[in-house]
Amino acid sequence: MVRKTAWKRHNLARSKRELILLLTMALSFSAILYIYYFSVKPSMPPETAFDGVVNQILSYYIMVCGRSGNDNQNTATQTTATAAPTVTKSVSLHYHIAHPLNYHFILDEPDKCSQWDPFLVLMVPVAPHQVEARNAIRSTWGNESTVQGKAVMTLFLVGLTGGSDSEKAQQQLEEESRQHRDLVQSNFVDSYFNLTIKTMVIMDWLATRCPQATYAMKIDTDMYVNLENLMTFLLAPNTPRQNYITGVVLWDRPVVRNKNSKWYVSEELYPEPKYPTYLLGTGYIFSNDLPEKIVEISKEVKAFNIEDAYVGACLKHLGIAPSSPPDPSQFRIYMGQYNREDFLRIISIVVGSPQKIMDVWKDVKSSR
């Protein structure tokens, strides 16, 4: 009996110590975030800053307390990377961790657009280590600054480097940024799961750093882009300049519920059996009034990890339907056997490797 009583007292004392430690850590973390949002980000409105503090505290609470302790690791990652749960229904706050206000730029080119005044901005999401891919684009379609008299600008968007050599990799990125002045880096973890965050950060950069551009294109690193054909398409009198987005349109795509698939999305994150109409994320073009609208509406659209479908969900909430291009054959998904005539006619196509991009570029240019 004495031993049981002593054991209970020991457990009670330990629980009190853990509770005090947790409260101390939470208060310290809250204070740090409060100072960050109200001093480092003084331009943010108070309610937005407060939302940001709550976002980060909730994410931290989930991580420390293990509220999803019965879930598998994949589900726990989704909760942290996308959306934290609502505390009470009576408080109207945004908990979407994918929202750009939860992140800030480490490397930035804030004056690039004011200097270039681009008509078209090509935004390329890329992993930090993909130097070869960036260099291939820089030496091919990303090197074109003027097309049919219109200014064109190419930028690469990366997240945080990871691994044991992350410090060295970050230094290399910073040196690359000083050399080329075309890198934008945000402080989210760069991973396949976080592509939604990456895309929303791209939209935020366009909305806040480059509102003067007329069009933008989100384009993957394994794509070949024929900028002459793209510019002809954008300058056509019937191409809208507002509320317009086009590319490879996907209709009635089922949500993948197989947990072993890289495209798995839980019912908690997206309960509907099918996605709204959206554009394939390899490359889509949009009028540059859309990024600000997409970022704003994303506060009301629960984030999930399929980035192109998530943009489609945001567009649905905006009441904007993706448009099929006048000639869908100009947007290709697979190259197949190389034919120069095809590449003289297309706007974008998946070619695969950096070397193939350079080979195609060289051959197409030699024919002109």
pLDDT over threshold 90, residue 291: yes
The helix (run of H) or strand (run of E) holding residue 282 is strand 278-287
| Stretch 126-136: mean pLDDT | 97
Portion of the chain with pLDDT greater than 70, in percent: 74
pLDDT, one tens digit per residue, over 32-87 is 444 444 333 333 333 334 444 434 433 333 333 332 333 333 332 332 333 333 33
Question: Are residues 51 and 167 located together in one domain of the fold?
Answer: no
What local confidence, expressed as pLDDT, does residue 208 receive? Answer: 96
What local confidence, expressed as pLDDT, does residue 23 receive? Answer: 54
What residues have CB less than 8 Å from 99, skipping those under 6 apart? Answer: 55, 200, 295, 298, 299, 303
Question: Are residues 142 and 224 located together in one domain of the fold?
Answer: yes
What local confidence, expressed as pLDDT, does residue 48 receive? Answer: 37
pLDDT over threshold 70, residue 106: yes
Whether 248 and 330 have beta carbons less than 8 Å apart is answered as no
Name the least confident of 7-21, 129-143, 228-242, 306-320.
7-21
Quote the number of domains for the chain. Answer: 2
What residues have CB less than 8 Å from 353, skipping those under 6 apart? Answer: 222
What local confidence, expressed as pLDDT, does residue 18 receive? Answer: 52
Q: Which of 66, 97, 128 represents a domain boundary (last residue)?
A: 97
| Stretch 343-364: mean pLDDT | 95
Portion of the chain with pLDDT greater than 90, in percent: 67
Question: Are residues 306 and 343 located together in one domain of the fold?
Answer: yes
* Pairing mode of beta strands 146-147, 105-107: unpaired
What local confidence, expressed as pLDDT, does residue 13 receive? Answer: 52
Q: Which of 74, 97, 120 represents a domain boundary (last residue)?
A: 97
Question: Are residues 350 and 234 located together in one domain of the fold?
Answer: yes
Name the least confident of 189-193, 230-234, 251-255, 355-359.
189-193
Name the least confident of 7-16, 87-96, 101-110, 127-136.
87-96
Q: Which two tokens stand for residue 4?
A: 């049981």
Rounded to whole angstroms, how far apart are CA atoms 74 and 77?
A: 5
The CATH number assigned to the domain holding 294 equals 3.90.550
Question: Are residues 50 and 145 located together in one domain of the fold?
Answer: no
Residue given tokens 């204070």 in the structure block:
31
What residues have CB less than 8 Å from 23, skipping those under 6 apart? Answer: none
Give the residue numbers spanning the domain of 211: 105-366
Question: Are residues 194 and 55 located together in one domain of the fold?
Answer: no
Threshold 0.85, pTM exceeds: no
pLDDT, one tens digit per residue, over 13-25 is 554 555 555 555 5
Q: Mean pLDDT of all residues in the chain?
A: 81
What local confidence, expressed as pLDDT, does residue 3 receive? Answer: 44
Residue given tokens 């002809």 in the structure block:
232
What local confidence, expressed as pLDDT, does residue 57 receive? Answer: 37
pLDDT over threshold 50, residue 176: yes
Rounded to whole angstroms, how far apart are CA atoms 254 and 268?
A: 15
What local confidence, expressed as pLDDT, does residue 82 receive? Answer: 32
Question: Are residues 73 and 134 located together in one domain of the fold?
Answer: no
Question: Are residues 92 and 130 located together in one domain of the fold?
Answer: no
Confidence of residue 327 (pLDDT cuts 50, 70, 90): very high
More confident call, 317 vs 33: 317
What local confidence, expressed as pLDDT, does residue 77 receive? Answer: 31
What local confidence, expressed as pLDDT, does residue 166 receive? Answer: 86
Confidence of residue 334 (pLDDT cuts 50, 70, 90): confident
Name the least confident of 18-22, 206-210, 321-325.
18-22
Question: Are residues 119 and 195 located together in one domain of the fold?
Answer: yes
Rounded to whole angstroms, how far apart are CA atoms 187 and 194?
A: 12
Whether 49 and 37 have beta carbons less than 8 Å apart is answered as yes
